[in-house]
Amino acid sequence: MKTSNQKIKSYLVIVNSPKGSIENDNEEFISLTLSAGTVISGITYVNIKKFNRNTLIGKGKLQSIKEDLEAVDIDLIIFNKDLIASQERNLEKILKYPVIDRSRLILDIFARRAQTNSGKLQVELAQLKHLSTRLIRGWTHLERQKGGIGLRGPGEKQLETDRRLLQERIRSIELKLKKLHTQRKTNRKSRNKVMKNVALVGYTNAGKSTLFNSLSNSKTFVADKMFTTLDPIFRPISISKNRRVVISDTVGFIRELPSELIEAFLSTLEEISDADLLIHVLDSSDRFMHQNKQSVESILKQIGADQIPTIYAYNKIDLVKKGLDLLNTYQHIEVSAKEDIGTETLIESIALMINPQPIKTILRINVNESKIRAQIYSIANVIQECLINENTLELTVEIDERNLLRLKKNKKIKAIESKLSTSSKRI
Ligand SMILES: Nc1nc2c(ncn2[C@@H]2O[C@H](COP(=O)(O)OP(=O)(O)OP(=O)(O)O)[C@@H](O)[C@H]2O)c(=O)[nH]1
Ligand SMILES: [Mg+2]
C-alpha cells in the first residue's frame, strides 16, 4: 500500500455513452478519483456508439490506450462506467494493469473514510458483496471453460473455499451490524421522546458538515472532498428559548450510488428516514444543483424518506453573485454556512416546522394502572415519579402537546399543569 505522499498514479478512461453524457459526470468522476487520493497521470476520452460486451470499448481504442500507456508511469486504470466482472478481467489482461470501475472507486473512498466500528463494518460489507458477485461470476466463467483447459481440482476448490469464507464473513458482519442497529434504534427511541430529530441531507460536498458546525458550534471535519462524512453525528441545538432539537449530519449522496453501498448503509440512512424534519442542503454555486437535487430526492425515495417535511437550504450563497430566484417561503432559505449568512433564519424555520412544543406537565394515575403508566413512559420523557398517597402515582413529564391531548382523553389520567408537589414521597 502506498503512503499518502507516494500517491497512486491513475489513468482515467472516460467513456461517453451512446446517449451522450452530461459534462457533470466527467467533472464529478475526476473529483472522485482525486477524493480517492490518486494523482492523475493520464486521461483518455472515448466516444462509443455501442458498448462492447467483452471489453466495454472497442479493439481500436484499446490498442491506442495501450500505446498511450507505454509513455506514462501509472499504477491503476479507472473507468468512469461500471464494468461487469468479465469486462474487468479482459481489460486487465489486455492492458496489463489493474482496472477498477466507478462503483469500486466509490467503495474505496468509503473504505478510506470509515472511522467508527459500524462505519468500517458497513463499508466492508459493501466491499464483500461487490467482491462476491465477482467471485461467483469468476466461478461460472471457469466452470464453463474447465473441460477445455482442465481446470479441475485445486483452483476450483480454492474458489469454492473463498466463496464460502466470503459468505461466512458477510453473515458475521451482518449479525454484528444488526446488533449495532438495534442499539442505535433504542438510542433513537429515547432521544425521540422529547427532542425532535432534524437530519441534514444533500449531495456530497454541498456543505452539510459546515452547516452542521455552524448550527451546533462544533468542529466536525470539513474538506473539499467527496464523502468526507460517513458516520452519522448528532448534536442538540437550541431553536428557541426553551426548545432544543437533535441535529444530525450524515453521509452525502451521489448519483448512482453503488447498490451494495445503499444496502450496507441502510441502517445509517435510517437516521434520515426516521427524522422529523430534513434540511436538504444544496450547493447553489454548482451549476448542476438541480440535477443533484433530483439525485438526492431519488435516493430519499429509495430509503422511504421522501414524505418527511423538508427545508431547502441553498448554501454557498456567498459564491453566487446574482442571487437566486427563490420562492419566498420559510422552506426555501439562502444560507452561507461558511460566512454565517441566513443561519438565524434557518433556525427560525426549523422552530416553525417543528411543532408542537414539549410541555412540562404533571400527570396523576391510579397506582394499579400499569398499562397506562407504560403508555406514558413510551411517549413522554418522565422526569420524576412519586407516590403522593396510597393510590395515586404522580409523574412529572415532558411531552408533546399532541401526545398530551391524547393522554388527556383518557379519563383515568389527570393532568395538572402546576409545580411539583414537595410533600410527595419518592419511590
Ligand atoms: N464558499 C463557501 N464554501 C462552503 C460553504 N459551505 C461549505 N463550503 C465548502 O464546501 C466544501 C465541502 O463542505 P463540507 O461541509 O465538507 O460538505 P459535506 O456536504 O459535508 O460533504 P461530504 O461529507 O463529503 O458529503 C468545503 O471546502 C467547505 O469549506 C459556504 O457557505 N460557502
Ligand atoms: Mg460532511
Residues 90, 54 contacting (CB under 8 angstroms): yes
Q: How far apart are CA 100 and CA 38, in angstroms?
A: 13
Name the band, by pLDDT with cuts 50, 70 and 90, for residue 254: confident
pLDDT for the residue numbered 18: 62
Q: How far apart are CA 352 and CA 350, in angstroms?
A: 5
CATH level 3 topology of 8-100: Rossmann fold (3.40.50)
Determine the atom of ligand 1 nearest the C-alpha atom of 212: 15
In this predicted structure, which of 38-42, 50-54, 93-97, 310-314 has the lowest mean pLDDT?
50-54
pLDDT in tens, 117-133: 888 888 889 888 888 77
Check residues 264 and 238 and name the one with the higher pLDDT: 238
Of 217, 219, 220, 222, the C-alpha closest to 238 is 217
Closest ligand to 313 CA?
Answer: 1
Q: Is the pLDDT higher at 411 or at 19?
A: 411
CATH of 358-426 given 3.40.50, 1.10.10, 3.30.70, 3.40.720: 3.30.70
If we measure between CA atoms, which residue out of 219, 264, 269 comes closest to residue 111?
264
Q: Which-ligand-closest: CA of 213? A: 1
DSSP 318: G
pLDDT surpassing 80 at residue 366: yes
Where do the structural domains in the chain lie, given as residue ranges? Answer: 8-100, 112-187, 192-353, 358-426
Q: 346 versus 408: which is more confidently predicted?
A: 346
Fold of 192-353: Rossmann fold (3.40.50)
> pLDDT value at position 65?
95
Q: Is the separation of the CB atoms in 281 and 315 below 8 Å?
A: yes
Q: Check if 250 has its Cβ closer than 6 Å to any atom of ligand 1.
A: no
Hey, whose CA ends up nearest to atom 14 of ligand 1? Answer: 207
| Ligand 2: centre distance to CA 253 (Å) | 10
* 8-100 and 358-426: identical CATH topology: no
Whether the pLDDT of residue 372 is over 90: the answer is: yes
Residue nearest to atom 1 of ligand 1 (CA): 316
**Per-residue CA distances from 309 to 193, 312, 424 (Å):** 19, 10, 42
* Residue for grid cell 449495532: 180
Percent of the chain with pLDDT over 90: 36
8 Å CB contact between 95 and 42: no
Task: Quote the distance between the C-alpha of residue 168 and its chain's center.
Answer: 26
Query: Would you state the pLDDT for residue 322?
Result: 77
Q: Element (H or E) spanning 100, and its range?
A: strand 99-100
Which ligand is nearest the CA of 342, by number?
1
Summarised one tens digit per residue, pLDDT across range 141-154 is 444 443 333 333 44
Cα 399 from Cα 376, distance rounded (Å): 9
pLDDT in tens, 35-91: 888 899 999 999 888 888 999 999 999 999 999 999 999 999 999 988 988 899 899
**For residue 320, which of 340, 334, 330, 333 has the smallest C-alpha distance?**
334
| Ligand 1 site-directed mutation target among 208, 210, 220, most atoms within 8 Å of CB | 210
- Report the candidate in 73, 106, 62, 51 with the shortest Cα–Cα distance to residue 6: 73
Q: Which residues contact 167 (CB under 8 A, 6 or more apart)?
A: 132
Distance from the Cα of residue 380 to its chain's centroid: 29
The preferred substitution site among 338, 340, 343 for testing ligand 1, maximizing ligand atoms within 8 Å of CB, is 338
DSSP per-residue letters across 224-284: SSTT---S-EEEEEEEETTEEEEEEE-PPB-TT--HHHHHHTHHHHHHHHT-SEEEEEEET
Cα distances from 233 to residues 96, 113, 220, in angstroms, run 43, 14, 8
Phi-psi region of 46 (alpha: psi -120 to 50; beta: other; left: phi over 0): beta
Here the cell at position 361 is: 406537565
Range 305-312 average pLDDT: 91
For residue 350, the SS3 value is helix
Q: Tell me what pLDDT residue 233 has.
A: 82
338 in ligand 1 pocket by Cβ < 6 Å? yes
Looking at per-residue pLDDT, the higher value among 115 and 95 belongs to: 95
> Which letter does DSSP use for residue 80 in this model?
S
Q: What is the pLDDT of residue 155?
A: 52
Of residues 294 and 423, more confidently modeled: 294
Q: Kind of pairing, strands 196-202 and 277-283?
A: parallel
Ligand 1 contact via 336 beta carbon (within 6 Å): yes
